[in-house]
Amino acid sequence: MEAPQRNLAMDLVRVTEAAALASARWLGKGNKEAGDGAAVDAMRLSFDSVDIDGTVIIGEGEKDEAPALYNGERLGTGKGAKVDIAVDPVEGTNLLAYGRPNAIAVIGLAPAGTMYDPGPSYYMKKLVVPSQAKDVVDLEAPVEDNLTKTARALGKDVNDLVVFVLDKPRHKELIRRIREAGARIQLHTDGDVAGALMAVDPSSEVDMMLGTGGTPEGVLAACAIKALGGQIMARLDPQLDKEKKALRQSGHDLTQILDVDTLISSDDVFFAATGISGGTFLGGVHYTGQGASTSSMVLRGKTGTVRRVQSWHKWDKLMKFSAIKYD
């Protein structure tokens, strides 16, 4: 038996809270770059106090033309465990900019060398299911088969299922087939990390996520899926010839099926997410004038512990020492 060890996710949630508090000031103002930049600055500054020797594997890359937190950046004090980091200061920058639900600040962390590096991949085809269905789905199987098997594993009929799908032109045929099979659909413009989390969270009404979304987001979501015992199955799915050429030149196998254990090869994973714009999954930042409240999810893979953290932040005390100007 082991004595309880330090739960790094409790350090990470302070970082996601900082990003959420800083970026939520830009809710609905139509400037996604400013909102993302505020979150990045707050997150980087907060990481300076976390005792880890971290390397960003999944960061804000070329696709987002982001201001910082780039792939390969070193984070933390350098004094603690060597870890791989997946980070998205604002997952759903358009959601934040236009005041839509489910923008979140997210971080995943795993031991060094255990996180899949997607290289120049921007997009992957994904299937995400909760733990009850993790052994019955197949990315290569017809959509109808996966719906039937998932419903059976969950003790439901197919017409009971709710499937998260990004509302993109590339999913027109997928949406038609899901509807014809009888399942219900939640269409979202953005935010497939949140979608993957909903699919594996027992308290969510979403039962499954299907479709092509961001590759970095898939690896980041895999940290939470691993902790919650669910399954993600994915295959790199380049949308442009430039991306396909870069992947081939880097030696990536476009036919390989990636599962949760391929994307994150250790159970000793940590994850934290804080709501920014609010929604059915996580509440957003609520400003009171004297402070703000935040809603977060904190996961530790080794123990399977799930925490819901509701925090209240008081400006009169916090701003006496904080280098981040939240108010």
Q: Is 51 annotated as a binding residue?
A: no
91 is an annotated ligand-binding site residue: yes
Is there a binding annotation on residue 123? yes
Number of H helices, E strands in the chain: 10, 13
Instruction: Go through 86-110 and write b for each residue having 16 or more CB atoms within 10 A of its CB, e for each that does not.
Output: bbbbbbbbebbbbebbbbbbbbbbb
| 191 labeled part of a ligand binding site | yes
170 has binding-site annotation: yes
State yes or no: 190 annotated in a binding site: yes
36 labelled binding-site residue: yes
In whole angstroms, what is the distance from residue 244 CA to residue 143 CA? 25
Q: Are 176 and 199 in contact (CB under 8 A)?
A: no
Give 195's Cβ-side CA count (13 Å radius): 28
Cα dihedral across residues 190, 284, 107, 207: positive or negative: negative
Residues 222, 242: Cα–Cα separation, whole Å = 26
214 labeled binding residue: yes
Binding-site residue set for Mn(2+): 36, 60, 88, 91, 217
Binding-site residue set: 36, 60, 88, 91-93, 123, 168-170, 190-192, 214, 217
Binding-site residue set for substrate: 91-93, 123, 168-170, 190-192, 214
